[in-house]
Structure 1
Amino acid sequence: MLQNPKKPRYLSLLIIAIPLAIGLFSGCKQEDSDHHTSWTHYGGSPDQSRFFNAQEITKENVSELEVAWMFPTGDESPYFFSPIIVDTTMYLMGKNSSLIAVNVVTGKEIWIHANLNGITRRGINYWESKDKTDKRLLFTINNTLQAIDAVNGQSILNFGTNGYVDLREGLDRDPTSIRRMQAMMPGVLFDDLLILGSAPGESYFSPPGYVRAYNVVTGQHVWTFHTIPHPGEYGYETWPKDAYKYVGGVNVWSEISVDPDRGIAYLPIGSPTYDYYGADRIGSNLFANSLVAINARTGERIWHYQTVHHDLWDYDLSPAPQLMTVKKEGKEIDAVAVATKHGFVFVFDRVTGEPVFPIEEKPFPKSEMPGEESWPTQPIPSLPSFTKHEVTLGTLNPYFPDSLKQVWNNRINAAKSGLYIPPSDKYETVMMPGALGGSNYGNTAADPENGIMYILTQEHASIYKLNKVEPPKINLSDNELKKVKTMYATTCKTCHGEDMSGGVGPSLLNVGQHVIYDEFRSTVINGRGQMPGFVHVDEETLKAMYRYLGGNPATFNFRRNAETNTPEGNVVASGGAKIKPDSTKGAPMSDYPEGVEHPEARYTTEYGLEWPGLATPPWSSLLAYDLNNGTIKWSKPVGQDSLYVQGDQSKGAPGGVLRKGMVVTSTGIVFATAKGGKLYAFDAENGNILWEETLSHESNAQPSMYTINGKQYLVINATSNFAKDSYNHSKKEGALPKGYIVYALPDKK
């Protein structure tokens, strides 16, 4: 591994293994069969492998699968929920964001806990005590952690404080100023701990994404891993002084994997804010964009590897790290592998963090942005990449009409494209893959004992161009603009500065994008802290000022525990634990803390996601990566996308796999969903399609699998609408309603 001689050694040291941990864990061997015979976790098991050990469905009979039963969701909302199955009960979501318990044999509803608006969209956790007398579902909702009795569906009100834990606390920010914290993923269970990531947002000054663990019975906070190190912690020197006070993100917003026998959790950590301009975070920025192995009981770091230094491309780690036994050069290695958005696979010894395949630090272009210091090198694995890394005139979408081809010929000629080209304010940067490309969450699975990782990948570019953050230009009438300027000059300018960038008071730039109108109005009229109230300001002027600051007074204002309609069925409870309203609400952080050095200007860009089919198809593929020898065993296009395709739109081109899911079976089948309502069964050995189904609705959730009385079932959530660039199969005769479809082999007569 190359090191940069101009940088301190601690910035180049990417792997640290604790000798004690090696001795403690090296004698353990995970027995995969013990962890893959049920589906009680989001990804099947704590290792998130999506691997299922059962023998009934085979390559020879998979084509005989038929609908055994289905559970309609009862409304038109799309649900992204991945069902879990415990004994004879399936837990799913439907009927106005309600948790529903269903019998897995008959599909009959057992109970409904209604109106859980704001619940984590993609899944929940199930835990039971060793004597099985305490069974509970744990989930996040409206920035809180809550628990429900898995047997009767009632909220457990002695959990936390009055039934909930406030996840905004303990994040180096005023809790009442945090608007968003919970992740869309459910976290992962280890023993009596729930390990949670977060999704604090991607704007300047978003909260930090610390990883935390809570006791599943009491709700007590047990440990925190500071993803942005505090003074004295490892990695603190890879940031500017006091960066943890203003940098946000560096969060696990996706899937955490756990080796339950060793007690190690593997964290795929995301990018720091701001994603595309890092002049206020000069350094390599540990533990952003890093795979970190931690002690699941204590949260202590065992080892780490940073896959992107000083990220400027939103190349955060999002797929679940896959835990496998790799047979390399005659030696068995318990490994962990992680696929990335930019199309690489990194493989490490699960205990020591040593790379199983070589990784080389290679030089890349320097940023030309003022104040920016892009990292001079980036780690490139020796394993083959599974995506393109450039868009050229020769790789443009062949389905583009001639008029669009000419537009893109001009744009490509004026832009820059290629791996790790830093964003600029002078020209467009066409990144392939982009922020939603490559392998994303839900897009990896494994055959753990045989060292094969399965990857769903997408050729999705992003187009970036940085723009300086300026006060928002709002279309106000001449009269409104006059009122705003008069109000600002007479009541605001002295404290907030001539250009709204701050002085005695904080910056007001874009404050309307962070503070809801009710809070803005209350602050102006009633005052806050040293700021006096201005009761004389009329409502019309207040709304005009709010729009001038980037807000929309008509935007829906989120209310915790909002009252909603109760669905039909056996409703046993509604709304979860009642959350106490904040007595005061602080404004979200909008400027650097006093005394912290920072760049004069800030820059932002759009995500640039409006051209998903920019390059040649296939736009999405499923591939089998053999990590015993570091080769791609096979790759097959998946999904159906009618984007720019002329003629019969139902045929389309292969593409659109993003954020779907897989199930891998011990009989050598890979079930996968893809865009266009596609459901496939692939031969795990060669990628041949053994069975294919077109669903009546899109599936945007992780499939599940279970067995009961020796019979094996596949569960597909088909509740999403088809996009405009897909053929709408819900209009076909005989189409099923939105719901959870359960497939099985026909009963033997």
Structure 2
Amino acid sequence: MDFSFILMSNTKFTFLSWGPLVVQVVLVLITGCQTPTKEIAEHTTWSHYGGSPDQSKFFESPSITKSNVGEMELLWNYPSGDDRFYFFNPIIVDSTMFVLGKNSSLIAIHARTGKELWIHTDLSGITRRGINYWESGDKKDRRLLFTLNNSLQAIDAVTGKSIMDFGDNGYVDLREGLDRDPTSVTQIQSMMPGVVYDDLLILGSAPGESYFSPPGHVRAYNVVTGKLEWTFHTIPRPGEYGYETWPKDAYKYVGGVNVWSEISVDTERGIAYLPIGSPTYDYYGGDRLGSNLFANSLVAVDAKTGERLWHYQTVHHDLWDYDLSPAPQLLTVDKDGKKVDAVAIATKHGFVFVFDRVTGEPIFPIEEKPFPKSEMPGEESWPTQPITSLPSFTRHEVTEENLNPYFSDSLRQDWLKRLDSTKSGLYEPPSDKYETIIMPGALGGANYGNTAGDPQNGILYILTQEYASIYRLNKLEPTKKELTKNDVDKVRSLYESSCIACHGPNMEGGAGPSLKNLGHHMFYEEFRNTVVNGKGVMPGLVHVDETSLKALFQFLGGDPERRSFRRGEQQGEPIDGPVVASGGVIVPPDVQRGAPMQEYPQGVEHPETRYTTDYGLDWPGLIDPPWSSIIAYDLNEGTIKWRQPVGVDSLYVQGDKTKGAPNGTQRKGMVITSTGIVFSTAKGGKVYAFDAENGNVLWETTLSHETNAQPSMFSLDGKEYLVINATSDFRSDSYDHSKKPGAVAKGYLVYGIPDKK
């Protein structure tokens, strides 16, 4: 049954037989309406992760135009201060820029000069990709909100000091309110910051993707008190809409179904758009038979109350880890001569779905089409999947014709034989009998940070990469619940299979940083968050159990029980400058860790055998390039306006003809300007300025370090500036190392048009 076009109003479910006009009137009455000038004002600042609550990455930039963008230069830079990688998106308020730097410190700097205003140091475990800013109407109360080791905290944006009357003695325990024993929640905070709307912080989560991970319910907290104001149950409880799309007890043990990326808000109407991810377990769903709402769904909720207004599920009963990752883009499109306020979502598997922002009605047709049936025991794959009429932006199959043409003859012959014994194609269910090559795979298509929009002109921009995953299911063997120091040696195989390629056989580094003495400057919680969620170009190892994670940490010289460092021990270099505080508020140790669920609740029916697989990322260059592109969709016409390859295709710059590494757009971002410029970052430290009309390159530069963060833009004294976080080290295949760019200290780089002399 298709539940996609049902609205919920209080206790009644009403089908959209009224017609879009009546529904729009009803929704306006429910949510209220603000003046249209507010949306325009939002795009003149960059106080949110994506610039504004709509996450459009759109900016009013009158001083940087197509005619002068070629004159852009590096005006100043703020060094990050140590050897760590930071993936932080700077936000700018008035003349102050907030960054994350040396020793995991939040730092306020002057946006014109880079002068440090205050430093709040040693926030180990803080949300890696950004923070939230809120100010009261009179601007007397200004605060930064962020998550840190499973807690929500606030800092005074003026003084840099922790706000101790926020929550319970300065923190909110994010493990609470998830329908699980809080002590079983080992991780819940997202690597993304959430979004501020009025006096609410709407927050997603990253609960992990293992069996029995916690559910990813979306929650809103009061920015002043920390009080939980509403919860949207992404896995419905008994009596709630969508409950019947799961087994009756699934809400007790299924996890995920979380928003781990960007939440977009229509501030005029007070509607939040939630791009919801996959359920656990990603690749086998024998214990979650059904279509599994609200997994893999775009859900519109009342931003004030969390009440569901409408939803659309883009993948039924997901078996491919096809999370909805990028920000939903809020655009006004000209459809059949009428202006329609729309929301567009791009997916990992290369589709764009577009809906009326208020009613949820598709603007371009969507058809349910049949796909292969799973042959796994206990599994019941969904017989159909929704396919939009808009052109796809990725390929969906690996064939003899599109194999990488740079393969040697012997390697090509090996792959031709391998293809004979595998299955490849869109929605091909994973199997334990043979390999399935899914195109695109877990890191393909559009990922978080990879969409932007021109809100008034109906143009959607997408960064995408062609990256296959190769899956084969295996029975999940039971793991030990206890860990002793003697177990550390047994984790060596995990290091050799997952870590050695980048960090070296002696942990001295290579493509990745050195891990020597890691345990002397990192707590276990930060280590766990890094391994599970990924960092830089490193994918997250989400299926590694807690026991193995602790053993790996010990193998690297760490102590999982360590809560503090002795005098003389440092988590980083000593901090110079205006330090106002160190560390977060005091949070009980049990908030930062837990003993995860290991089995189904007593009395719950479940399959006898569970299956698992890795992400299958061993062959990133399996098909022919280009692997990474930027695409402009004209959603007025329903066509791809232009497409350009981006980044260093890295193809064998070291003479290695066996593997490439696309990753050209993963963890990258864009800024769209009102003057028709598309700024984009890409692999190899590349920064481009494209002509928004035709995709022509207007300006290009190569950074001295990699960027793995969303760029920002701000205006000060009538001039606009572009900010790039360039704090990551290059991989060995990121560029031709014989032509390395000139040395600039890694840090936050501010570009602009220099003043004429």
TM-score range, shorter-chain basis? Answer: 0.7 to 0.9
2-side partners of 1:373 and 1:258: how far apart? 35
- Say whether residues 1:624 and 2:647 are aligned partners: no
Q: Offset at 1:641?
A: 2.8
- Say whether residues 1:335 and 2:342 are aligned partners: yes
**Amino acid in the other structure paired with 1:378:** Q
1-side partners of 2:367 and 2:324: how far apart? 19
TM-score with structure 2 setting the length: 0.85
SS in 2 for 1:716: strand
Q: Do 1:51 and 1:446's aligned partners in 2 also have CA atoms closer than 8 Å? A: yes
Cα 1:348–1:560 shift into 2, 3 Å: farther
Aligned to 1:98: 105
Aligned 1:221-232 pairs, distance under 5 A: 221-232=228-239
Among residues 437, 440, 451, which one is paired with 2:458 in the alignment?
451
Q: Offset at 1:569?
A: 1.3
**Amino acid in the other structure paired with 1:16:** I
Among residues 182, 192, 195, which one is paired with 2:199 in the alignment?
192
Aligned to 2:641: 633
Aligned 1:419-434 pairs, distance under 5 A: 419-434=426-441
Q: Describe the superposition over 1:151-198 as per-residue Cα deviations: whole angstroms up to 9, x where unpaired.
A: 010000110011000101111221122111000000000000000000
Aligned 1:235-384 pairs, distance under 5 A: 235-384=242-391
**Amino acid in the other structure paired with 1:44:** G
2-side partners of 1:550 and 1:407: how far apart? 37
Q: Do 2:628 and 2:649's aligned partners in 1 also have CA atoms closer than 8 Å? A: no
Aligned to 1:5: none
Q: Which runs of 5+ in 2 are unaligned?
A: 9-22, 491-523, 526-546, 566-570
SS in 1 for 2:629: strand
- Say whether residues 1:603 and 2:611 are aligned partners: yes
Q: Do 1:418 and 1:432's aligned partners in 2 also have CA atoms closer than 8 Å? A: yes
Instruction: Give the count of matched residue pairs.
Output: 673
Higher mean Cα deviation, 639-648 or 308-317?
Answer: 639-648
Among residues 3, 25, 33, which one is paired with 1:13 in the alignment?
3
Q: Do 1:640 and 1:653's aligned partners in 2 also have CA atoms closer than 8 Å? A: no
Q: Do 1:730 and 1:736's aligned partners in 2 also have CA atoms closer than 8 Å? A: no
- Say whether residues 1:672 and 2:662 are aligned partners: no
Aligned to 1:743: 751
Q: Do 1:26 and 1:351's aligned partners in 2 also have CA atoms closer than 8 Å? A: no
1-side partners of 2:561 and 2:162: how far apart? 20
SS in 2 for 1:357: coil
SS in 2 for 1:395: coil
SS in 1 for 2:278: coil
Q: Describe the superposition over 1:663-699 as per-residue Cα deviations: whole angstroms up to 9, x where unpaired.
A: 0000000000000110000000000000010100111
2-side partners of 1:700 and 1:708: how far apart? 25
**Amino acid in the other structure paired with 2:474:** N
2-side partners of 1:214 and 1:706: how far apart? 28
Aligned to 1:725: 733
Aligned to 1:686: 694
Aligned to 1:35: 42
1-side partners of 2:2 and 2:306: how far apart? 23
2-side partners of 1:583 and 1:303: how far apart? 34
Q: Do 2:621 and 2:662's aligned partners in 1 also have CA atoms closer than 8 Å? A: no
1-side partners of 2:591 and 2:713: how far apart? 45
Q: Do 2:31 and 2:302's aligned partners in 1 also have CA atoms closer than 8 Å? A: no
Aligned 1:350-749 pairs, distance under 5 A: 350-471=357-478, 554=555, 556-558=558-560, 562-563=564-565, 564-565=571-572, 566-582=574-590, 587-645=595-653, 656-727=664-735, 732=740, 734-749=742-757
Q: Offset at 1:365?
A: 0.3
Aligned to 1:151: 158
Aligned 1:165-244 pairs, distance under 5 A: 165-244=172-251
2-side partners of 1:607 and 1:39: how far apart? 35
Q: Do 2:468 and 2:617's aligned partners in 1 also have CA atoms closer than 8 Å? A: yes
Q: Describe the superposition over 1:270-296 as per-residue Cα deviations: whole angstroms up to 9, x where unpaired.
A: 000000000000000000000000000
2-side partners of 1:137 and 1:14: how far apart? 37
**Amino acid in the other structure paired with 2:183:** T
Q: Do 2:186 and 2:595's aligned partners in 1 also have CA atoms closer than 8 Å? A: no
Q: Which runs of 5+ in 1 are unaligned?
A: 1-10, 485-517, 520-545
Cα 1:292–1:58 shift into 2, 3 Å: same
2-side partners of 1:720 and 1:328: how far apart? 43
Q: Offset at 1:707?
A: 0.8
2-side partners of 1:417 and 1:612: how far apart? 15
Q: Offset at 1:413?
A: 1.5
1-side partners of 2:313 and 2:244: how far apart? 15
Aligned to 1:511: none
Q: Do 1:618 and 1:653's aligned partners in 2 also have CA atoms closer than 8 Å? A: no
2-side partners of 1:432 and 1:327: how far apart? 32
Q: Offset at 1:558?
A: 4.6
Cα 1:742–1:551 shift into 2, 3 Å: closer
Cα 1:733–1:381 shift into 2, 3 Å: closer
Cα 1:223–1:26 shift into 2, 3 Å: closer
SS in 2 for 1:266: strand
Higher mean Cα deviation, 291-300 or 26-35?
Answer: 26-35
Cα 1:397–1:283 shift into 2, 3 Å: same
Q: Do 1:722 and 1:728's aligned partners in 2 also have CA atoms closer than 8 Å? A: no
1-side partners of 2:117 and 2:353: how far apart? 44
Cα 1:584–1:664 shift into 2, 3 Å: closer
Q: Offset at 1:76?
A: 1.2
Aligned to 2:71: 64
**Amino acid in the other structure paired with 1:13:** F
Q: Do 2:421 and 2:435's aligned partners in 1 also have CA atoms closer than 8 Å? A: yes
1-side partners of 2:695 and 2:467: how far apart? 23
2-side partners of 1:578 and 1:646: how far apart? 49
SS in 2 for 1:723: coil
SS in 2 for 1:582: helix
TM-score with structure 1 setting the length: 0.86
Q: Do 1:455 and 1:623's aligned partners in 2 also have CA atoms closer than 8 Å? A: yes
Q: Describe the superposition over 1:312-357 as per-residue Cα deviations: whole angstroms up to 9, x where unpaired.
A: 0000100000000010110000000000000000000000000001
1-side partners of 2:549 and 2:266: how far apart? 52
2-side partners of 1:717 and 1:616: how far apart? 30
Q: Describe the superposition over 1:487-532 as per-residue Cα deviations: whole angstroms up to 9, x where unpaired.
A: xxxxxxxxxxxxxxxxxxxxxxxxxxxxxxx99xxxxxxxxxxxxx
**Amino acid in the other structure paired with 1:122:** R
Q: Offset at 1:561?
A: 6.2
Aligned to 2:537: none
2-side partners of 1:700 and 1:551: how far apart? 25
Whose Rg is larger?
1
RMSD over aligned Cα atoms: 2.6
Cα 1:653–1:613 shift into 2, 3 Å: closer
SS in 2 for 1:394: coil
Higher mean Cα deviation, 569-578 or 299-308?
Answer: 569-578
**Amino acid in the other structure paired with 1:21:** L
Q: Offset at 1:406?
A: 2.2
**Amino acid in the other structure paired with 1:258:** V
**Amino acid in the other structure paired with 1:664:** I
Cα 1:256–1:585 shift into 2, 3 Å: closer
**Amino acid in the other structure paired with 2:65:** T
- Say whether residues 1:114 and 2:104 are aligned partners: no
Cα 1:733–1:457 shift into 2, 3 Å: closer
**Amino acid in the other structure paired with 1:146:** Q
SS in 1 for 2:705: coil
2-side partners of 1:585 and 1:52: how far apart? 40
2-side partners of 1:620 and 1:645: how far apart? 16
